[in-house]
Amino acid sequence: MAGHHDTAADARPDHPLERLIFFSDAVFAIAITLLIIEVHPPHLPFGSPWQAYVNALRTLWPNLFGFFVSFFVIGAFWSGHHRAFALAGHYSDRLVGPNLQMLCAIVFMPFATAFMSANGGMLVPSVLYALTLIVTGLLNIRLVRMATRPGIVRSGVSAREIAYTRARGGGVVLGAMVSIPIAFWIAPLSQLGLLTIPLFQWLLRRRVTQRFARAA
């Protein structure tokens, strides 16, 4: 009975850890909501022809594109944060600083997105956006590693599951790194580099699979 009780207690995160997770979820939700606030709907005179509305929406395309890209990027960071802390079972004061630093980068992302969207095709906004993703990704990698280290991670979590969780974060960093040289070459196409993020995530997961297959 005692062993069963210990296992059940270990499966439930410490209360301070739950507070940290709830706070982080709220910050992610606010940041992802702020993205759409920067997309201002066009106001046309009453009775304008439908072509005018279509043209007005067309001018918003850079803003809408930036919104959708950043929405799914922040969503990917939240997913990784959620996955890592789902494996955590114990609180540590050492998690607070790295978690706040990563959330700070997340909150900065709506500004970087708006700056890039308002200056579409320009080098500096494109590079700033890519650097924001790289910094956020590196901070996220550090946080995920801390949340899945011994003493914090739940007992019973396999080394393979930890390796998979840690590997996913590198995809955003590598994809953003690809977009930087594209920005110096053809700045308007720099965001195409972010399309490589799913590819890098797949390659990193495949690498983990191969490593554990060789070890078996």
Going from N- to C-terminal start, the domains of the chain cover: 2-215
Cβ atoms 170, 80 nearer than 8 A: no
Per-residue pLDDT tens, the chain, 216 aa: give them: 344 444 444 455 577 999 999 999 999 999 999 999 888 888 888 878 888 888 888 888 888 888 998 999 999 999 999 999 999 989 999 999 999 999 999 999 999 999 988 887 899 999 999 999 999 999 999 999 999 999 999 888 998 899 989 888 899 999 999 999 999 998 888 888 888 888 998 898 888 888 888 876
CB atoms inside a 10 Å sphere around CB 56: 14
What is the amino acid identity at position 201? Answer: Q
pLDDT in tens, 161-200: 999 898 888 999 999 999 999 999 988 888 888 888 889 9
